[in-house]
Amino acid sequence: MSAWCCVNGRYGPIDEATVPINDRGFLFGDSVYEVFHVHDGRLWAAERHYRRLGRSLEAIGLNADLEAIRGWVDETLRQSRLAEAMVYLHVTRGVAPRNHAFPPDLKPTVVITVRPLVAMPEAERRRGVKAITVPEVRWRRRDIKSTNLLPNVLAKQQAIRAGAYEALFVEADGTVNEGSSTNVFLVRDGALHTPAKGPQILPGITRDLLVETAREQGYAVEERTVKLSELFEADEVFLSGTTTEALGVVEVDSRRIADGQVGLVTRGLFEAYSERVRQGRD
C-alpha cells in the first residue's frame, strides 16, 4: 500500500480524500502542520514534532486533541504499510461559513497523509546544491508552522526556475533568516553558525538535532544573527530540514562557496545524523 491518508479518523487513498470548501484551512490558511520522517516504520523525532505542533496550535489559539491526533497518525502509518515514509499532518480550525472571526468550539479538521520517502540521489547530495536569495517578505511569526506558505511557494519556484534547490530569505540589512523549507548553517574555521531561534525563523527539528550532533562531535555552534556576506566568506554552507537532513550548498546567487565542493564538516555531520536516525536516538 502507499500514499494513504486520514481525515478526522476516516482512512483511505489520498486521491479520494477531500475537505469541505468552508474549511478554514482552505479559506484562510487558518491551520498549522508538521512533516515527519518515518524510518524503519518509526516516526523519527516524534516527541519534538508533537511539541512544536502543540506550540503552533497554542500560538493561534486552536484547541485540538493531541492524543487523538497521535492515534490517527500511528494508525495511518500502520495502514500504509510503509517503513520509509513522510507523514504530513495538518490541523485546521474547522468548518464554518466564511467569516474572518471564528465561532467558539469549532471541531478542528485533521488531515494526515503518508507517502513513500523519496531520498535525494546520492550523486546529487555529494555534488551539493545551489541557492538563490530573495527579499524577506513573509509575515513576522515564522516560528509558527502555519500553512500561510504562499511566499515560500513563490520563493521556491523562483529557485527552481533559476536552476537552484532553495531560496534563502534575506532581510534588507543582509540578515539571512532561512530557506523556503529549510534552515541554514555556515561553517567557518571549524565552528558552526546558524540564525538564532525567534519569531524570524522556524525552529527546525533537524536544525536542533544537527546543533546537538555537532556539539557532541566537539564543534562549537553559535546561534546568532548571520549576514549574507558571511555565507560568501564561509568554508561551508549547508541547509537542514526533515527530508533535506544536512545538504551542502556550493553556490549562492551564482557565487561559489569556498572551492565549490560539499565540505568535510557537512559530510561528516550528514553521516553522523544518518547514524543517529538509524540508532533511533532522537
Residues in contact with a copy of itself by CB under 8 A are 5, 7, 14-15, 17-30, 60-61, 88, 90, 97-98, 100-102, 111, 113, 115, 135, 137-141, 146-154, 156-157, 159-160, 180-181
**Smallest distance from a copy of itself to CB 161, Å:** 9
- State how far the Cα of 76 lies from the Cα of 80, in Å rounded to an integer: 6
User: 19 or 258, CB closer to a copy of itself?
Assistant: 19
CA angle 146, 148, 154 (to 5 degrees): 130
E strand or H helix at 52:
helix 46-59
Distances (CA, A) of 181 to 178, 188, 192, 195: 8, 23, 20, 15
Q: Which residues are catalytic, by number?
A: 145
Minimal distance, residue 135 CB to a copy of itself, in Å: 8
Around Cβ 54, how many Cβ atoms within 10 Å?
13
Q: Which is nearer to a copy of itself, 119 or 137 (CB)?
A: 137
Residues in the chain: 282
The DSSP output letter for 200 is T
CB closer to a copy of itself out of 156 and 267: 156
Q: C-beta of 168: minimal distance to a copy of itself in Å?
A: 14
Which CB atom, from 93 or from 125, has the smaller least distance to a copy of itself? 93
Nearest distance from residue 241's CB to a copy of itself, in Å?
11
Write the DSSP string, 246-282. Answer: EEEEEEETTEE-TTSS--HHHHHHHHHHHHHHHHT--
Shortest reach from residue 193's CB to a copy of itself, in Å: 25
φ/ψ (deg, to 5) at 160: -60, -45
Coil, strand, or helix at residue 76?
helix
In this complex, which beta carbon is closest to a copy of itself, that of residue 160 or of residue 264?
A: 160
